Structure 1
Amino acid sequence: MKIAVTGKGGVGKTTLSGTLARLLASDGYRVLAVDADPDANLASSLGIPEENYRGITPFAKMKALAEERTGADGGYGTFFILNPKVDDLPEQFCVEHEGVKLLLMGTVEQGGSGCVCPEHTLIKRLMQHLLVQRDEVVIMDMEAGIEHLGRGTAGAVDALIVVVEPGRRSVQTAHQIQELAHDLGIERVFVVASKVRSAKDLEFVQEALSDFPLLGHVTFSREIMDADLDGKALFDLGGEPVEEIKRIKENLVQLISKL
C-alpha cells in the first residue's frame, strides 16, 4: 500500500501523515514514512525525539553520495548513470521509531524545471524503488506540487490524499493537485477535511469538492495544537482526533482493498 498525502501548507497534512503511519504500524504493518516536504516536520509528527533526527541530512543534500552512485565524478555537465543502485539506502539512512522507518528526501534546488543533476537523479530513482519495489506500507508527506512523483512512479501510488481546510484557497489547491495527479496517471485521489469547526464547514468542503471521494474529517481541536506546540506525536496523546484519523485509515484500507 503506497499512499501520498498532500495539500496547501498549514492544512494539517503532516499531522495526518504521521498519525496514519503510527496507526498502521500499531496494526502490524511494516511502515516506511517518507518526508518529501521541504519543511521536513514529519519526524516530530511521528513522535521521534529531536536528538534522534536533527543530524539527519536529506538525500537532496547528499551531493557526494549522489555523485558516487551516479558516477558523476566530473561534476555537472558530465555523463552519469540514470538508474543508480539505491536498494541499500533506506536501511542505511532511516530512523526507526515505534515500528515506523523515516526517510528524509528534501528538495533539490534547481536552476530550472528541466535541470537534471546527480541529486535529482538519485531521489527519482529512490522514489521509484520505494514505490515500486518495496513491499512495506509507504506513507509520503508531500508538498502541494507533488514534485517527487514522476510518470515512472506515480502509477504505483495506490491513493493520493489531498488534505483541505474549509476555505476557497485550500479548495483551489485541491483542484490544482487533482489536475497534476491526472496528468501523471494517478486515478485514485481522495480528500480529507481538516480543521473542521462545524457541520457548515464540512458541508462547504463536500460541496466544493463533490468530485472527490471523502475519506473523513478531522475536527479542529486543542489536542492537535498542543501536540504541535509540544513537539509530540498526536498518536501518543490520543483523544478524539486520533479516533477520527483511525476512521479515515479504516476507510482508506477498505477502499484500496476493494480496488
Structure 2
Amino acid sequence: DSPAGLEHLNRKIVSDIDDLFVILDPSSKSLKHIARIKDITHQIGIRYGHLYLVGNYNFDRDTEEYLKSTGEAYLGKIEYDADAQEYNLAGKSLLELPENSPAFSSIRGILSRVDGMVEG
C-alpha cells in the first residue's frame, strides 16, 4: 500500500514488486498514470510481476471499456458503498464492512480474478 500518486515510484522505495495495483479515477490525469508508471519503472529499474488496473466507483461503462483497451489487466471497479464512506468519516476500519457490502463484494471479485490469472 502506498499513497496516491507516483512519488513512491520515483524514489524507488522498492525495486521488486510482485503485483502492482493501480486504482484509477475517471480523469485524463489518472489515465495518463498508466503510461507514466510504465515509463518510471522502466527508467529507474523497478521490476514488477503484474500491473493490474482497478477503477474506483465513479467509473462508467465507457471508461471501463477504455481501460480494457489499454492492454493491461483490467480487473473491474470497486462499487460505490455508502457504508464505506460512513466508515471512513467515523475512522472505522474498512475491514469491518459486512461481507454483503457492495465495496467488499466487488473487491472480493477483483481478487478472485487475480487468483484466476495467477493460477491459470
| TM-score after normalising by structure 2 | 0.76
Percent identical pairs in the alignment equals 17
| Correspondence 1:224 to 2:84 | yes
Q: Which has the higher contact order (CA 8 A, sep 6+)?
A: 1
Q: Which has the larger radius of gyration?
A: 1
Relative to structure 1, the CA distance from residue 224 to residue 202 in structure 2 (aligned partners, 3 Å threshold; closer, same or farther) is: farther
- Show structure 1 runs of 5+ residues with no match: 1-140
User: 1 CA distance for matches of 2:35 and 2:87?
Assistant: 29
| Correspondence 1:167 to 2:60 | no
User: 2 CA distance for matches of 1:226 and 1:201?
Assistant: 26
- What SS is found at the alignment partner of 1:254? helix
Structure-to-structure mapping, 1:153-164, within 5 angstroms: 154=16, 157-164=17-24
Q: C-alpha displacement at 1:171, in angstroms?
A: 1.0
Q: Please point out which of 39, 42, 54 is paired with 1:192.
A: 54
- What SS is found at the alignment partner of 2:72? coil
User: 1 CA distance for matches of 2:111 and 2:57?
Assistant: 17
| Correspondence 1:214 to 2:74 | yes
Relative to structure 1, the CA distance from residue 223 to residue 199 in structure 2 (aligned partners, 3 Å threshold; closer, same or farther) is: farther
- What SS is found at the alignment partner of 1:226? helix
Structure-to-structure mapping, 1:37-186, within 5 angstroms: 141-143=1-3, 144-145=6-7, 146=9, 147-150=12-15, 154=16, 157-182=17-42, 183-186=45-48
| TM-score after normalising by structure 1 | 0.39
User: 2 CA distance for matches of 1:197 and 1:186?
Assistant: 26
The one-letter amino acid of 1:165's match is D
The answer to whether the Cα contact below 8 Å between 2:25 and 2:59 also exists between their aligned partners in 1 is: no
- What SS is found at the alignment partner of 1:243? helix
Relative to structure 1, the CA distance from residue 224 to residue 204 in structure 2 (aligned partners, 3 Å threshold; closer, same or farther) is: farther
- What SS is found at the alignment partner of 1:166? coil
The answer to whether the Cα contact below 8 Å between 1:162 and 1:192 also exists between their aligned partners in 2 is: yes
- What SS is found at the alignment partner of 2:33? helix
The answer to whether the Cα contact below 8 Å between 2:59 and 2:77 also exists between their aligned partners in 1 is: no
Q: Which runs of 4+ in 1 moved over 6 A?
A: none
Q: C-alpha displacement at 1:240, in angstroms?
A: 1.0
Q: Deviations over 1:123-150 (max 9, x none)?
A: xxxxxxxxxxxxxxxxxx1232333112
Q: C-alpha displacement at 1:243, in angstroms?
A: 0.3
Aligned length: 111
User: 2 CA distance for matches of 1:167 and 1:256?
Assistant: 29
- Show structure 2 runs of 5+ residues with no match: none
The one-letter amino acid of 1:244's match is S
Bigger mean CA deviation after superposition, 214-223 or 166-175: 214-223
